[in-house]
């Protein structure tokens, strides 16, 4: 029983740790089949439209784009956290550059850009539709530039008065201390006739722009609906979102752009993807009597997936950090890691210290498990004898084995239960180290300059495999010699699996093995 459970645990752990890496990096997604032309297909289906610049927008069949009232103007916004460019075209965002994050480790590397360059339809761009006519609104901005110091806030207002009596005002409240901005669009019907149409806005990015971010985590639309996080694959087509939308956005492994509705009623939320472009859109129906108005408000977050920063938004945006099956354990571990970093400004040392703390907390369980394994090893000759004697009578053999365990006061699963209890914590920490943006481009020491990248010289994975082999040799086992030799292949499998893992993960596993070896040596020397 014990040897089967141990083997199952080891193999299960290997599968769980390797699944994300193998699927994310070695298994490519099957190509999406393009739908053939259908004469009976709805004429409202979204179709890609190439522009002169080569960028892409989604224009529905049967719609016309009205001529702009104003020329496109750019408004530069400079804060300590980011530098953005707002466009008078739809009052959208043309550029959003994060000042504290680089694309690469090189000093000449550019800052992270959150908006796809040369995008035809900007994030947060307002589009007004009346009947079959879709109008890309060209506003007049209140300012040409804004520069904020820490603690400051400022308003940026875009206005548009259309010839048919529809006045539109879009107001942004920009703060120097957050990646979040507040937005509110007010539509006023100053004409003598009722207005029936809709206002749409959303987020957009090119597929290549999202995919180039790297990492094996999800890239594309992400939605918080009815208290649950939903992710959508990047595949061609359009999908309507249902449920109560808490927030909706586009993400890659370390960054997210999200819209958080506040005064958005009766909105139809959807995702749409062409071969080149992926969008998340909200379309709000408008029915305005003469001299009536309506306001649509939301906040938008464009920034890093930092736990503390996302939690501060107060809308469960931190759930966009994918921490795996044991999120309830992983979140406290990530909080603890960030807390330790305040006093130890080296994430490599924080990983080591956190691993030490976890090993100390689990020491009683580790000792109990090793003691049980030693007892099982001690009576193994009697177990083998009983199995041989009653090999033709399974029921009698099991009764005799239970009597043997009872006589020596041994729980046959005593060596496995402590291991089972520790596995969720180990996997949770593993997922934290794999998803935390805090490790992105974070140096450790010597040749390891990025804890989120693999060890360039493969030193740590090889050492990890060696310590795993030593630990396996030291661990008492009730397996027969043939099975024990088969288990020796596990350190080799893990070594090759960890070669391309982020060095932060490998350091954690290496330190955990070294501490386990020290614990086993101490327990074996002090236990009679």
Answer with the one of 285, 319, 353 that is the final residue of a domain: 319
Q: What is the pLDDT of residue 401?
A: 80
Domain annotation covers residue 176: yes
Encoded tokens for 29: 């997604």
456 and 364 fall within a common domain: yes
User: So what's the pLDDT on residue 13?
Assistant: 53
- 218 plus 268 within the same structural domain: yes
Burial of residue 208 (number of CB atoms within 10 Å: 0-12, 13-18, 19+) = exposed
Query: Which is higher by pLDDT, 324 or 478?
Result: 324
Give the tokens for residue 2.
């014990």
pTM to 2 decimal places: 0.80
Element (H, E) at 185: strand 180-189
Torsion angle of alpha carbons 13, 17, 18, 21, nearest 10°? 170
DSSP 8-class letter at 56: E
Range of the domain at 266: 51-319
User: Is 281 a member of any domain?
Assistant: yes
- E runs forming strands in 264-327: 268-273, 277-288, 293-304
**Count of domains forming the chain:** 2
Examine the domain organization and report whether 417 and 448 are in the same domain.
yes
Cα(376)–Cα(186) distance, rounded to whole angstroms? 75
CATH number at 198 reads: 2.70.98.90
One domain for residues 302 and 336? no
Verify that 409 and 446 share a domain, yes or no.
yes
pLDDT at 46 over 80: no
Rounded Cα distance between 156 and 270, Å, is 28
DSSP class of residue 265 equals -
5-18 pLDDT, tens digit each = 444 445 555 544 55
Question: Do residue 166 and residue 192 come from a single domain?
Answer: yes
Domain check: are 315 and 338 in the same one? no
Same domain, 447 and 473: yes
* Cα gap 268→224, rounded to integer Å: 15
Asked whether residue 128 is assigned to any structural domain, the reply reads: yes
The residue-averaged pLDDT of 307-317 equals: 93
Residue 227 located in a structural domain: yes
Residue 250 reports pLDDT greater than 70: yes
Q: Is residue 73 situated within a structural domain?
A: yes
Among 268, 288, 319, the domain-final residue is 319
CA distance 175 to 154: 7
Mean pLDDT, the chain, rounded, equals 82
pLDDT higher than threshold 80 for residue 242: yes
Q: In this model, does residue 220 exceed pLDDT 50? A: yes
Q: Quick: pLDDT tens for 120-135.
A: 889 999 998 887 677 7
Q: Are residues 307 and 341 in the same domain?
A: no
Q: What is the pLDDT of residues 278-301, one digit of tens each?
A: 999 999 999 999 999 999 999 999
Higher pLDDT, 422 or 88: 88
Mind listing the pLDDT tens digit for each residue in 381-436? 787 787 778 777 788 888 878 887 777 777 766 666 667 777 888 888 888 988 89
Q: Please report whether residue 31 resides in a domain.
A: no
Residue 362 and residue 296 in one domain: no
Which of 61-65, 71-75, 183-187, 331-335 shows the lowest mean pLDDT across its residues? 61-65
- CA torsion 172-173-174-176 (nearest 10°) is 180
What CA–CA distance (Å, rounded) separates 373 from 378? 9
7 domain-assigned: no
Last-in-domain residue among 319, 343, 359: 319
| 74 and 125 share one domain | yes
Asked if residue 502 belongs to a domain, the reply is yes
Compare 158 and 62 and report the one with higher pLDDT.
158
pLDDT in tens, 466-497: 998 888 877 665 555 666 666 678 888 889 98
Please tell me whether residues 123 and 255 are part of one structural domain: yes
- Under the banding of pLDDT at 50, 70 and 90, the label for residue 149 is very high
- What is residue 415's predicted lDDT score, i.e. its pLDDT? 60
């Amino acid at each position: 029983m014990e040897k089967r459970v141990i083997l199952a645990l080891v193999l299960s752990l290997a599968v769980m740790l390797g699944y994300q890496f193998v699927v994310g990096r070695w298994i490519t997604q099957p190509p999406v089949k393009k739908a053939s032309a259908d004469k009976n297909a709805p004429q409202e289906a979204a179709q890609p439209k190439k522009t002169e610049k080569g960028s892409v927008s989604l224009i529905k069949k049967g719609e016309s784009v009205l001529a702009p009232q104003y020329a496109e103007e750019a408004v530069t916004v400079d804060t300590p956290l980011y530098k953005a460019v707002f466009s008078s075209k739809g009052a959208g965002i043309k550029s959003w550059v994060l000042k504290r994050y680089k694309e690469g480790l090189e000093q000449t590397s550019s800052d992270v850009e959150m908006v796809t360059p040369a995008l035809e339809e900007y994030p947060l761009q307002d589009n007004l539709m009346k009947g079959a006519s879709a109008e890309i609104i060209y506003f007049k901005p209140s300012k040409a530039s804004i520069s904020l110091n820490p603690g400051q806030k400022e308003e940026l207002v875009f206005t548009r008065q259309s010839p048919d009596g529809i006045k539109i005002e879009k107001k942004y409240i920009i703060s120097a201390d957050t990646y979040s901005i507040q937005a509110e669009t007010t539509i006023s019907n100053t004409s003598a006739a009722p207005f029936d149409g809709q206002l749409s806005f959303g987020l957009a990015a090119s597929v290549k722009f999202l995919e180039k971010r790297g990492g094996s985590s999800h890239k594309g639309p992400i939605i918080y609906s009815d208290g649950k996080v939903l992710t959508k694959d990047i595949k061609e087509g359009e999908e309507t979102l249902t449920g109560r939308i808490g927030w909706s956005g586009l993400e890659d492994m370390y960054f997210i752009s999200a819209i958080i509705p506040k005064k958005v009623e009766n909105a139809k939320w959807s995702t749409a993807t062409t071969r080149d472009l992926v969008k998340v859109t909200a379309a709000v129906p408008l029915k305005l009597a003469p001299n009536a108005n309506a306001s649509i408000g939301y906040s938008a977050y464009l920034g890093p997936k930092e736990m503390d920063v996302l939690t501060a938004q107060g809308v469960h945006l931190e759930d966009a950090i994918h921490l795996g099956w044991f999120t309830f354990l992983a979140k406290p571990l990530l909080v603890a890691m960030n807390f330790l970093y305040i006093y130890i400004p080296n994430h490599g040392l924080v990983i080591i210290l956190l691993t030490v703390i976890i090993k100390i907390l689990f020491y009683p369980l580790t000792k109990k498990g090793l003691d049980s394994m030693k007892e099982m090893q001690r009576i193994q000759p009697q177990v083998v004898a009983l199995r041989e004697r009653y090999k033709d009578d399974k029921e009698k053999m099991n009764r005799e084995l239970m009597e043997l365990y009872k006589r020596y006061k041994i729980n046959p699963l005593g060596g496995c239960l402590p291991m089972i209890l520790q596995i969720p914590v180990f996997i949770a920490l593993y997922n934290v180290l794999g998803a935390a943006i805090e490790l992105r481009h974070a140096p450790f020491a010597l040749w390891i300059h990025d804890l989120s990248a693999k060890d360039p010289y493969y030193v740590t994975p090889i050492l990890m495999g060696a310590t795993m082999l030593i630990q396996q040799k030291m661990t008492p086992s009730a397996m027969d010699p043939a099975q024990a030799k088969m288990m020796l292949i596990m350190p080799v499998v893990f070594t090759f699996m960890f070669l391309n893992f982020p060095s932060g993960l490998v350091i954690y596993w290496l330190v955990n093995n070294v501490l386990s070896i020290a614990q086993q040596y101490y327990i074996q020397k002090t236990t009679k």
